[in-house]
């Protein structure tokens, strides 16, 4: 009788562990639910003139980048602080120019443009970092983002900074 009760107990334990393993496997294999990206509507109205001005600034920036004109690139960039734009200080200019001059750029192109508000926008730029890279295929490339801001009706380019005033992350 003890043999039968031992078998029943061991069978119960065996089935318990099988059920536990099956449950863990199902939980572990559960597909991750992805959140759909939602881009809220822009909080301001953009005119054709706004878009043209932003594109003009971005194209100037990309031209400077392609020509390795670091001074020209920095001349187009501003810092957004206290609801106003400020040109780079000499030390900021020197730091940015020094950093940019260390990165070999063989080509650059506009990758994306998202306009959300007067201070929270994204212009994606793809740069080719190796001579035999390919901008279209994404081989040997990297991306960075500019943030066009408008102050008193005039558009300015800033580097996208997730800690900057007015920045709001949007999935």
pLDDT tens-digit map of 28-83: 444 444 444 444 455 567 788 999 999 999 999 999 999 999 999 999 999 998 88
Strands 84-87, 107-114: pairing kind:
unpaired
Query: pTM here?
Result: 0.70
Average pLDDT of span 91-110? 92
Residues 6+ apart with CB under 8 A from 39: 114, 116, 170
Domain 48-159: which topology? Nuclear Transport Factor 2; Chain: A, (3.10.450)
- Beta carbons within 10 angstroms of residue 116's beta carbon: 17
Q: How far apart are CA 49 and CA 56, in angstroms?
A: 10
Q: Where are the domains of the chain?
A: 1-33, 48-159
3-state DSSP assignment of residue 15: helix
């Amino acid at each position: 009788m003890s043999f039968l009760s031992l078998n029943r107990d061991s069978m119960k334990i065996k089935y318990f562990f099988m059920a536990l393993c099956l449950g863990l496997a199902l939980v572990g294999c559960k597909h991750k639910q992805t959140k759909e990206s939602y881009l809220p509507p822009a909080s301001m109205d953009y005119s054709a003139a706004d878009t043209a001005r932003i594109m003009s600034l971005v194209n100037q920036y990309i031209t400077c980048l392609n020509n390795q004109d670091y001074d020209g690139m920095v001349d187009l960039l501003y810092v957004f602080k206290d609801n106003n734009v400020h040109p780079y200080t000499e030390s900021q200019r020197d730091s940015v120019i020094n950093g940019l001059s260390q990165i070999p750029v063989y080509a650059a192109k506009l990758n994306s443009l998202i306009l959300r508000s007067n201070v929270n926008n994204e212009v994606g730029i793809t740069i080719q970092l190796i001579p035999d890279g390919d901008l279209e295929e994404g081989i040997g490339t990297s991306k960075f983002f500019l943030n066009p801001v408008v102050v008193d009706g005039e558009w300015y380019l800033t580097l996208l900074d997730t800690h900057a005033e007015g920045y709001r992350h949007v999935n």
